[in-house]
Structure 1
Amino acid sequence: MLDWAGTTVDHGSVAPVLALQTLFAQHGIVLSDDDARHDMGLLKRDHIRAILGLPSVRTQWLSVTGREPGDEDVSSLFTEFGPLQMKIIVQHSQLIDGVVPTIQAWKARGLRIGSTTGYTREMLAPVLARAAQEGYQPDTSVCPDEVNGGRPAPWMLARNMQLLEVYPPSTCVKIGDTVSDIDEGKNAGMWTIGLTRTGNMIGLDLASWSNLPEDQKQLRLKSAGERLLDAGADFIAEDLAGCDAILQAIEHRLAEPSFNGIMIR
């Protein structure tokens, strides 16, 4: 069960940050990268609500508007966000290196590939189309607006399981690059793998990452991995391709006669 931005497309999960920063700038609010990324992975309406609750943003909003942000502001901003996100997604939804051969190898082994996201179906549509053109098509994709709730609730994963006809959840693995991905997987009863280099925790596109000195790369990988493990991830990897050995280890664990469906790490 794979995430999208930062996991299979958009190295560094850049598109959502740019769209959120543009959205808030239109209202006179300066949104830092850290504040934009703090609750990444949530349904975008919930993400906007969480951003409005951050002290730095709340203070700016009060200064600009003269009042506290409320539910009407969340709804208004979310309505504005859709077109912005659609425009930026088209520019920043290229596949991450290694995704296509990795998925091809997994499907050849009989693995089924589901996907979840913080995007609505309308927002995900151009991402799906571009990914398909570049050679990646998950077997299923489920969006939060289709199951009446986003992360950290497990409903998108449950719907994927139903569509893929797979169970129990202890035979499934959720892979993503945010804390909310890990929470989603844990709440669904699945194994979880957190991704470091390609995702939200480091937040750099491939060119920016490549230009970092090696010691900075290692420091950032270590910090990102620690945060994902602290969130409860069972394993971490730099990118999707790095998950292959982990999946094989999980398969061996599931095949053990002593395995009873209870995941003991």
Structure 2
Amino acid sequence: MQSASGPGRPLQAVIFDWAGTLVDFGSLAPTQIFVDAFHSFGIELSLQQARGPMGLSKWQHIRLLLEDPSLAAQWRQRTGHAPTQADIDAIYAHFMPMQIAKVGQYSQPIAGAAQVLAWLRGQGLKIGSCSGYPRQVLDVLLPMAAAEGIRPDHVVAGDELPAGGRPGPYMALANMLALQIDDVAGCIKVDDTVPGIEEGLRAGMWSVGVSLSGNEVGLTRAQLQALPTEEAAHRKEEAEQRLRAAGAHYVIDSVADLPQIVAHVRSRLAMGERP
């Protein structure tokens, strides 16, 4: 690891998102459960709609979905009134046990994730993580991921900070405090969603977007490989554009491509650059 002496400061930590970044290629666990939960209330929600607010805490995600005019209209038709906070609470209460029961089905690590975490530790870097998942869901996911070599030094859940979650900087900064990092510019935030990129930027960190494995493409590896080459390239390009438009300093296909970004950020820090 680079010395803190000289014109620049060292890279100290990498903070990861979970679904679509470290595990669950395509980020299917959250989206499919949203579809199933809304369907249980008689509301037709598409996977594409479910992906819209991805990266937020799950309660806030449901709130934003119910603000969608088409979904709000369905709710009024079913209930006779506009969606209320009590309705959000009811869907969330139904969503939670479904998510807890199903998250294990989507817990497989993304190819290269465990190897990259080991490489980062070998580089002397600390590893943080945060998620839109509530703690109850992470309590199920974390042991499964650990058995596959995915063991961050710290984990922050989307429901455990009074200040809230994304797109605010709070979960990223909570990692920084827990890991005893003394400069936000010495951190890289890696995420597959627009709110996750904004989180890193607001925290003053280098933000790296993940395109192919994450929410912005939103396909399993098998579905992606089954696409015609041109369509797959088009979806990747669109995902990259959305992440760059959100302010990502870099965009990679998957976490497996991160080492080259680490080297690049270290060079920029050594020259005195900041995010």
TM range, smaller chain: over 0.9
Matching of residue 223 in structure 1 with residue 231 in structure 2: no
Query: Aligned equivalents of 1:167 and 1:226: distance in 2?
Result: 32
2:95 is aligned with 1:95: no
Instruction: Give the secondary-structure state (helix, strand or coil) at the position aligned to 1:113.
Output: strand
Q: Which moved more, 1:165-174 or 1:4-13?
A: 165-174
Q: C-alpha distance in 2, partners of 1:205/1:108?
A: 30
Q: Does 1:245 align with 2:260?
A: yes
Counterpart amino acid of 1:94?
A: Q
Q: Name the SS for the 2:207 alignment partner.
A: strand
Asked whether 1:176 is paired with 2:191, we answer yes
Q: Partner of 1:55 in structure 2?
A: 69
Of 15, 18, 27, which residue of structure 2 is paired with 1:4?
Answer: 18
1:1-265 mapped onto 2 (5 Å cutoff):
1-148=15-162, 149-256=164-271, 259=272, 262-263=274-275
How big is the shift at 1:51? 0.3
Unaligned runs of 5+ in 2: 1-14
Q: How many angstroms does 1:93 deviate by?
A: 1.2
Alpha carbons 1:140, 1:160 under 8 Å: kept: yes
Q: Is the 8 A contact 2:217 2:235 kept in 1?
A: yes
- In the alignment of these two chains, the number of paired residues is 260
SS class of match (1:114): strand
TM-superposed CA distance for 1:154, in Å, is 1.0
Instruction: Tell me how far apart the structure 1 counterparts of residues 158 and 25 of structure 2 sit (CA, whole Å).
Output: 22
Say whether the 8 Å CA contact 1:18–1:88 is kept in structure 2.
no
Q: Whole-Å Cα distance in 2 between the matches of residues 151 and 84 of structure 1?
A: 23
Give 1:146 shift: 2.0
- Conservation of the 8 A alpha-carbon contact between 1:197 and 1:238: yes
Does the 8 A contact of 1:182 with 1:231 survive in 2? yes
- Matched letter for residue 70 of structure 1: T
Instruction: Please give the per-residue CA displacement for 1:91-127, whole angstroms capped at 9, x wherever unaligned.
Output: 1111111111111111101111100100111111111
Distance 1:79 1:110 in 2: 41
Compute the displacement of 1:56 (Å): 1.2
Counterpart Cα distance in 1 of 2:231 and 2:153: 37
Q: Is the 8 A contact 1:197 1:239 kept in 2?
A: yes
Runs of 4+ in structure 1 over 4 Å off: none
Larger relative CO (CA 8 A, sep 6+): 1 or 2? Answer: 2
Cα RMSD (Å) of the superposition?
1.0
Which SS does the other structure have where 1:173 is aligned? strand
Q: Where in structure 1 are there 5+ consecutive unaligned residues?
A: none
